[in-house]
A and B are shown apart, each in its own frame.
Chain A
Amino acid sequence: EVQLVESGGGLAQPGGSLRLSCAASGFLFSSYEMNWVRQAPGKGLEWISYISSSGTTIYYADSVKGRFTISRDNAKNSLYLQMNSLRAGDTALYYCARGGAYYHSGTYYRSGLDYWGQGTLVTVSS
């Protein structure tokens, strides 16, 4: 069974830092792309970061670029999000989500975010 379990959320002061972790199990972690998605209270989903299966390709949303760093440790089946210079607007439930994939006629295709963790809540407040 695929499981994604986030941790590391909590209360942080504006300008502070937090490091989120996502422990993966039930699948070959090193073969899958991973993402972080957040949802502010009562708001919609916001994609914030992507990392390729090897960790060599990384993307960020403009809202977090330069402040957040995504990384992964395939030996530990873990995904991370280092969050610096936190702002009140970063208050949200943070999800890690697996980038699904499938093969058709020998070609690799992406298939959206097929598994999500339960999320970890980050609150930025003084």
Chain B
Amino acid sequence: DIQMTQSPSSLSASVGDRVTITCRASQDISNYLAWYQQKPGKVPKLLIYVASTLQSGVPSRFSGSGSGTDFTLTISSLQPEDVATYYCQKYNSASRTFGQGTKVEIK
């Protein structure tokens, strides 16, 4: 099975900082990669699909890039409401594996 590895597992940044989260697949998954945001106590929310397409209603400070095995989620200017855990997920084959998550906090 293809493994999805996120880094870092957690980060602390200041409001207004640029934040980057990385997701690496153990094999080529083309661009079948989604990013989700889960705020504490809430249901996960789809942010980005096909690696770089913003889901409707998601603020433009979120962006995604990458293809193949290496992907990135970027928050261009971190806001207090972005405190959450972020997950990547592959969805190109039988196993729709999630990464282990990256917890984002405000410094």
A-side interface residues toward B, CB under 8 Å? Answer: 35, 37, 44-47, 50, 59, 61-62, 95, 97, 99-100, 109-114, 116-119
Contacts and interface: CB of A to CB of B under 8 A. Distances in A.
B100 interface: yes
28 contacts: A44-B99, A44-B100, A45-B87, A45-B89, A45-B101, A46-B98, A47-B89, A47-B95, A47-B98, A50-B94, A50-B96, A95-B43, A95-B44, A100-B46, A110-B32, A111-B46, A111-B53, A111-B55, A112-B34, A112-B36, A112-B46, A112-B89, A112-B91, A113-B44, A113-B46, A113-B89, A114-B55, A118-B43
A126 B48 CA distance: 41
A55 B38 CA distance: 29
A123 B29 CA distance: 34
Interface residues of B, number: 26
B12 to A, nearest CB: 19
Contact of B50 (A46, A97, A109, A114): A109
A97 B97 CA distance: 14
B96 A114 contact: no
B94 A59 contact: yes
Contacts of B50: 109, 111
B43 A119 contact: yes
Contacts of A119: 43
B43 A47 contact: no
Given A45-B98, A50-B96, A59-B95, 5 more contacts: A47-B97, A59-B96, A95-B43, A112-B36, A113-B91
B71 interface: no
Contact of B85 (A44, A61, A97, A112): A44
A111 B100 contact: no
